[in-house]
């Protein structure tokens, strides 16, 4: 288990986590993933789903990223109500960024609801840029914003800072 600060830990998702993961998923999304989706992610060769836990081992969130060749993608992420706005999502995304960076990813992409302003703001603060939109992507007809974190851009920014 990796400690990212005094209160939140992030580790790989286990089948034994799925009852709590499903509870968070169901309370977070109108069309939630089912148990089979999460089992598939745990077993998939290119996926590395993670969970976050507080100091009392209460599951506070999860994230389902994948990395195939040099292309990373976050397919699903949610934080338990009551823990939102406390930096849990930020820590999980930073962990995924670190894993992808370590494995030489070119970019990490995701889709986010156009109405999810808090998530969009978080992604922008972490260095994601908007790359497009998917019209009527979600079940209710809502558009998705496509966002990417470009590791090559990160390298360029770091080189400029060193000069």
Cα gap 15→73, rounded to integer Å: 22
Question: Is 62 a residue of the active site?
Answer: no
> Which of 25, 41, 62, 111 is flagged as catalytic?
111
Cα gap 153→31, rounded to integer Å: 34
Question: Is 138 a residue of the active site?
Answer: no
> Which of 62, 123, 148, 149 is flagged as catalytic?
123
Tell me the three-class secondary structure of 81-133, residue by residue.
Answer: CCCCCCCHHHHHHHHHHHHHHHCCCCEEEEEEECCCHHHHHHHHHCCCEEEEE
Residues with a catalytic annotation lie at 111, 123
């Amino acid at each position: 288990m990796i400690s990212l600060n005094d209160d939140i830990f992030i580790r790989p998702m286990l089948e034994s986590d799925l009852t709590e993961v499903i509870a968070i998923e169901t309370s977070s999304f109108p069309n939630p993933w089912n148990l089979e989706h999460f089992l598939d992610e745990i077993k998939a060769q290119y996926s590395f789903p993670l969970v976050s836990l507080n100091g009392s081992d209460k599951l506070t969130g999860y994230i389902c990223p994948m990395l195939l060749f040099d292309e990373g993608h976050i397919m699903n992420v949610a934080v338990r109500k009551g823990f939102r706005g406390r930096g849990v999502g930020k820590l999980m995304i930073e962990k995924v960024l670190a894993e992808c960076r370590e494995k030489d990813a070119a970019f990490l992409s995701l889709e986010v609801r156009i109405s999810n302003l808090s998530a969009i703001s978080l992604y922008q603060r972490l260095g994601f840029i908007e790359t497009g939109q998917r019209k009527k992507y979600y079940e209710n007809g809502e558009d998705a914003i496509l966002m990417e974190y470009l590791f090559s851009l990160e390298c360029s920014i770091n080189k400029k800072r060193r000069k």
